[in-house]
A = this chain, B = another copy of it.
Amino acid sequence: MPSYTAPTRDIQFVLNEVLDVANSDVPGYSELEPDFTAAVLEECGKLNSEVLAPLNVVGDKEGCRLENGVVRTPTGFKAAFDQVREGGWTGLDMPEEFGGQNMPYVMGIATLEMFASANQAFAMYQGLTHGAASAILAHGSEHQKATYLPKMVSCDWTGTMNLTEPHCGTDLGLMRTKAEPQADGSYAITGQKIFISAGEHDMADNIIHLVLAKIPGGPEGIKGVSLFIVPKFLVKEDGSLGERNALSCGKIEEKMGIHGNSTCVMNYDGAKGFLIGEMHKGMRAMFTMMNEARLGVGMQGLAQAEAAYQNAVAYAKDRLQGRAVTGAENPDGPADPLIVHPDIRRSLMDQKSFTEGARAFILWGSTLIDKSHRGGDADAEGMISLLTPVIKGFLTDRGYDMTVQAQQIYGGHGYIEEWGMSQFTRDARIAMIYEGANGVQALDLVGRKLAADGGKHVMAFFDMVKSFIKENEGDEGLKKDFLEPLKAASKDLQAAGMFFMQNGMKNPNAALAGSYDFMHLFGHVCLGLMWARSAKVALAALAGGASDTAFYENKLTTGRYYMARQLPMTATHLARIQSGADVVMTLPADAF
């Protein structure tokens, strides 16, 4: 069975050394002293290694069962959920007035990595609740906040997001679920929603569904969509639970993975719902949470890659097969461990350099969210808006690829379920799809985010890279291995942006046909930047006589690998983009 150890040392490296959070002027960051964050991360790591990771396989094997309208979660999930609740993990970055601990978002994300690595299906119950609570926090009335948030922050009640219907996912303008105004100010919600994660289960006293629906007579399409709170049990004035609402789980989907999470078809049959925020502005309410939710899904890409990598390493060190081509390294044994073979190392280095680079990327992105939300920094808001589709799309695509590579290390044993490596692959697959399929992320990036605010944010990104290179170009330790590849990759990214500018106006397809490659090109540049920043820190630590020399030397070695072996992908992405739209759009539809 796979095991999991939280990579607290590396998370600390990013928080304290690369991002230097405690010395940032973001409100709340001064509390993030290394000793404090270490204590939080160690505790969280322990819970995840010891309690949630062992339940990962159980969740996969047992799945969720719908029996007489009740969904049974896998053995052990409920008790573990109680432990998570008791530890206060569900409200880590929620306001104190609703029972949270008011830590910055970056700490929420740092701990989320562990939950998503140890047991993604399980972590979704609290993750969806966090998302729904954030929506109520941002757009709910004072009464709604008081009614729902304390219970949701503690996860005594969990939450869901209801967007998709059988005939529409990305294009929510086609939505049919309707919300009819009632005399008491509430709405009667009627319709069917599908793919509702944690839609029904047995781990909480109540489930607060956030449902998108159309109020009859409103504008056509996406502009006529409103957002509603639709509780499973209605809540009385005194806060106690009242009658069962007219909603039910019609079916649990059989899925490729994340079996431990109940993915429900939800039927609303005139259920009582309460409008959140303004009428017909439901999408806006949804969109304000999207950066966070998408960043959380990007984290799943990294988290599954990390968990799969750890187990691939263990197997590569343990499994004896063949001899090193340069001479036996385990001469007294019947064969050498897999890890002596260059191609096994190539694969493990791919994985390691991805997860560490991705970790720095996503934690940096989280600080931008804190800067925006806590510090009111509009530039940070613009930057994270630009980077969000890259974090979601690139990290989940590459994270999935890494789980496939980790599985491959096991040979045939990776394909049978007994070893648990197939689960990482099957679970990681969903992150490329939900919360906006990755093709939609690419469209969002190229069709909207690039040109947002007159292209200001992408320019700021380029300036940031340029400044970093310029500031450090005198550093011989960085120059050849880090700054030069970063410069070349960044140049490719700029050339791609230029291509879109020159061609996209007269033919939008010229940009959109290259959107997916652009998202990946951008992602590589971001990881390249993160590695260059990490290398700078490592070199300084070594020069300053840090005691943990091995850590910093290994950091440099891993970074050099990424720059040498992954960053060259930018040239291919650029070539694809520059080949333009014709090769993509010419084939008649009936010739496919």
Q: Which residues of A contact B (CB under 8 A)?
A: 164, 167-171, 173-174, 194-195, 253-257, 263, 313, 316-317, 320-322, 325-326, 334-335, 337, 339-349, 352, 400, 404, 407-408, 411-412, 414-418, 422, 425-426, 429-430, 432-434, 437-439, 442-443, 447, 507-509, 512-513, 515-516, 550, 554, 557-558, 560-561, 564-565, 568-569, 571-572, 575-576, 579, 581, 583-589, 591-592
Instruction: Give the shortest distance, in Å, between A318 (CB) and chain B (any CB).
Output: 11
Contact check, A584 vs B254: say whether CB atoms are below 8 A apart: no
Query: What separation, in Å, do the CA atoms of A440 and B564 have in the docked complex?
Result: 23
Query: What separation, in Å, do the CA atoms of A553 and B121 have in the docked complex?
Result: 48
Which residues of chain B are within 8 angstroms of A422 by Cβ–Cβ distance? 255-256
Among B256, B316, B352, B438, point to the contact of A417 (Cβ < 8 A): B256
Contact check, A592 vs B439: say whether CB atoms are below 8 A apart: no
Most chain B CB atoms below 10 A, which of A170, A256, A347, A568: A256
Among B321, B564, B569, B589, point to the contact of A169 (Cβ < 8 A): B321
Find the B residue at minimum CB distance from A564: B579
Most chain B CB atoms below 10 A, which of A337, A513, A554, A587: A587
Contact check, A168 vs B321: say whether CB atoms are below 8 A apart: yes
9 inter-chain pairs at a CB distance below 8 angstroms, sorted by A residue, are A171-B335, A254-B417, A317-B589, A342-B585, A345-B587, A557-B587, A560-B583, A568-B572, A568-B575
Instruction: Give the shortest distance, in Å, between A574 (CB) and chain B (any CB).
Output: 9
Which residues of chain B are within 8 angstroms of A430 by Cβ–Cβ distance? 415
Contact check, B512 vs A341: say whether CB atoms are below 8 A apart: yes
Contact check, A342 vs B416: say whether CB atoms are below 8 A apart: no
Instruction: Give the shortest distance, in Å, between A489 (CB) and chain B (any CB).
Output: 11
Most chain B CB atoms below 10 A, which of A171, A337, A550: A171
Contact check, B572 vs A253: say whether CB atoms are below 8 A apart: no
A-B pairs with the 7 shortest C-beta distances?
A: A568-B575, A564-B579, A342-B512, A256-B422, A342-B513, A254-B417, A171-B321
Query: What separation, in Å, do the CA atoms of A322 and B171 have in the docked complex?
Result: 5
Contact check, B565 vs A571: say whether CB atoms are below 8 A apart: no
Instruction: Give the shortest distance, in Å, between A123 (CB) and chain B (any CB).
Output: 17
Query: What separation, in Å, do the CA atoms of A571 and B574 have in the docked complex?
Result: 12
Instruction: Give the shortest distance, in Å, between A162 (CB) and chain B (any CB).
Output: 13
Most chain B CB atoms below 10 A, which of A335, A415, A430, A508: A415
Query: What separation, in Å, do the CA atoms of A411 and B587 have in the docked complex?
Result: 23
Contact check, A347 vs B439: say whether CB atoms are below 8 A apart: yes
Query: What separation, in Å, do the CA atoms of A515 and B321 have in the docked complex?
Result: 18
Instruction: Give the shortest distance, in Å, between A210 (CB) and chain B (any CB).
Output: 18
Query: What separation, in Å, do the CA atoms of A422 and B516 have in the docked complex?
Result: 22
Instruction: Give the shortest distance, in Å, between A239 (CB) and chain B (any CB).
Output: 35
Query: What separation, in Å, do the CA atoms of A321 and B538 have in the docked complex?
Result: 48
Contact check, A581 vs B408: say whether CB atoms are below 8 A apart: no
Find the B residue at minimum CB distance from A432: B408
Task: A254-B416, A326-B509 given; name 19 further pairs at CB < 8 Å.
Answer: A164-B412, A174-B320, A174-B335, A253-B418, A317-B592, A325-B508, A337-B589, A339-B592, A342-B513, A343-B515, A344-B439, A408-B439, A411-B433, A415-B433, A564-B576, A565-B584, A568-B571, A571-B571, A571-B572
Contact check, A411 vs B170: say whether CB atoms are below 8 A apart: yes
Among B349, B429, B447, B571, point to the contact of A575 (Cβ < 8 A): B571
Which residues of chain B are within 8 angstroms of A439 by Cβ–Cβ distance? 341, 343-344, 347, 408
Query: What separation, in Å, do the CA atoms of A162 and B184 have in the docked complex?
Result: 73
Among B174, B412, B565, B571, point to the contact of A579 (Cβ < 8 A): B565
Find the B residue at minimum CB distance from A437: B411
Known pairs A411-B170, A411-B433; A255 contacts B416 (CB<8 A): yes
Which residues of chain B are within 8 angstroms of A345 by Cβ–Cβ distance? 513, 584-585, 587
Query: What separation, in Å, do the CA atoms of A571 and B492 have in the docked complex?
Result: 14
Which residues of chain B are within 8 angstroms of A592 by Cβ–Cβ distance? 313, 316-317, 339, 348, 352
Which residues of chain B are within 8 angstroms of A337 by Cβ–Cβ distance? 589
Query: What separation, in Å, do the CA atoms of A564 and B589 have in the docked complex?
Result: 20
Contact check, A343 vs B433: say whether CB atoms are below 8 A apart: no
Which residues of chain B are within 8 angstroms of A557 by Cβ–Cβ distance? 583, 586-587, 591
Most chain B CB atoms below 10 A, which of A164, A257, A434, A585: A585
Among B253, B343, B344, B587, point to the contact of A558 (Cβ < 8 A): B587
Query: What separation, in Å, do the CA atoms of A170 and B413 have in the docked complex?
Result: 12
Query: What separation, in Å, do the CA atoms of A170 and B320 have in the docked complex?
Result: 10
Query: What separation, in Å, do the CA atoms of A561 and B586 have in the docked complex?
Result: 10
Query: What separation, in Å, do the CA atoms of A342 and B447 have in the docked complex?
Result: 12
Find the B residue at minimum CB distance from A319: B167
Contact check, B335 vs A584: say whether CB atoms are below 8 A apart: no
